[in-house]
Amino acid sequence: MATPHNQANPGEIAPRMLMPGDPLRAQFIAEQYLEHPVCYNRVRNMLGFTGTYKGVPVSVQGSGMGMPSIGIYSYELFHTYNVQKIIRVGTAGGIAPQVQLRDIVLGQGACTNSSYASQYGLPGTYAPIGDFALLEAAAAHARQLNLHWHVGNLLSSDTFYDDSNSTAQWQKMNVLAVEMEAAALYMNAARAGKQALCIATVSDLPLTGASTSAQERQESFTAMMELALEAIITEGD
């Protein structure tokens, strides 16, 4: 059952999954929110845990940075371990003027500068979108929790250090924030017939230079974590 990147045995990974980029954030979520978490994966230090949240089995595992990395892990989770729902919980750089530090963005869609979709041989441009049921559940809980949140397009970029400095060009199309994983996750979910959503906390503002600390990104973006947990256990129930 194990894959080259995951040592879990059958039944050790729950059908519902939260997926931060940072494996230490996965450990933080497991220790802070899951009842009786058990570590099922340490391959490449990409930590994965399964426990329960309000009595519902939930797993949380790191994805690494970028579309190739989350593409590998989410593919194996969907196809080998029969995970049904993945919510990415990560950080993003705010682009739109109304998006500020520590705001939460729900990724309704994910623009991209990546060629990830070329593998499917489609006769046009594919538009990666999040699962509506998960998005609807997350939006409802965001209202209940009285969070400062936005819903709309993300940009999933292949480049963190962008030599062309293209971020401002995406702003004119009202793209809310830039990150590096959602588009690949959405495409993998679509191809597998599964559900996926990206919920991101704004950790920096690339156009102004404002940013949060690495420690804050790892441990203190708890509103996003709680929102994702509530959404993933209530959607479809």
Residues annotated as binding site for phosphate? 21, 25, 44, 88-91
Return binding residues for a purine D-ribonucleoside.
Answer: 5, 179-181, 203-204
Give me the catalytic one of 158, 162, 204, 237.
Answer: 204
CB 36 within 8 A of CB 54: no
Residue type, 24: L
Going by the annotation, the residues of the binding site are 5, 21, 25, 44, 88-91, 179-181, 203-204
The 3-class SS string of the chain reads CCECCECCCCCCCCCEEEECCCHHHHHHHHHHHCEEEEEEECHHHCCEEEEEECCEEEEEECCCCCHHHHHHHHHHHHHCCCCCEEEEEEEEEECCCCCCCCCEEEEEEEEECCCHHHHHCCCCCCCCECCHHHHHHHHHHHHHCCCCEEEEEEEECCCCCCCCCCHHHHHCCCCCEEECCHHHHHHHHHHHCCEEEEEEEEEEECCCCEECCHHHHHHCCHHHHHHHHHHHHHCCC
With contact defined as beta carbons under 8 Å apart, do 181 and 88 qualify? Answer: yes
204 is an active site residue: yes
Which active-site residues does the annotation give?
Answer: 204
